[in-house]
């Protein structure tokens, strides 16, 4: 599975706008509920971090996915696993 496949599935189920917020770093500067939702979706693999570091509203670094251990929160590998296993069919994991 490639990034374009994941983005297509995200579009289909409505996660694409949230992925764009993560891609641009805006997710970490919006109201708390948006950041918490994005973080929950990153933890299960529905979203993935970009290849660029960002800082959140408090100055903390949000690392790029390339700086993380494969298969952990925010990595492309976790998203591939999520969408390959069809976990997106239910939102009970969030």
Q: How far apart are CA 74 and CA 29, in angstroms?
A: 18
Mean of pLDDT values over 84-88? 69
Across-strand partners of 3? none
pLDDT of residue 85: 85
Quick: pLDDT tens for 16-38: 999 999 999 999 999 889 999 99
Q: 3-class DSSP state for residue 41?
A: helix
Q: Identify which of 34, 38, 66, 61 has the alpha carbon closest to the alpha carbon of residue 50.
A: 66
Per-residue confidence (pLDDT) for residue 72, from 0 to 100: 96
Q: pTM of whole model > 0.75? A: yes
pLDDT digits (tens, 9 = 90+) for 64-83: 999 999 999 999 999 999 99
If pLDDT is split at 50, 70 and 90, which confidence band does 89 have?
low
Lookup: tokens for 1 = 């599975």
């Amino acid at each position: 599975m490639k990034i374009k496949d994941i983005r297509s599935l995200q579009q289909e189920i409505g996660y694409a706008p949230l992925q764009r917020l993560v891609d641009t770093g805006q997710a970490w500067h919006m109201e708390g509920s948006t950041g918490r939702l994005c973080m929950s979706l990153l933890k299960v693999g529905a979203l993935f971090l970009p290849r660029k570091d960002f800082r959140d509203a408090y100055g903390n670094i949000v690392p790029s996915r390339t700086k993380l251990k494969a298969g952990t929160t925010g990595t492309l590998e976790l998203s591939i696993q999520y969408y390959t296993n069809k976990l997106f069919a239910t939102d009970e994991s969030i």
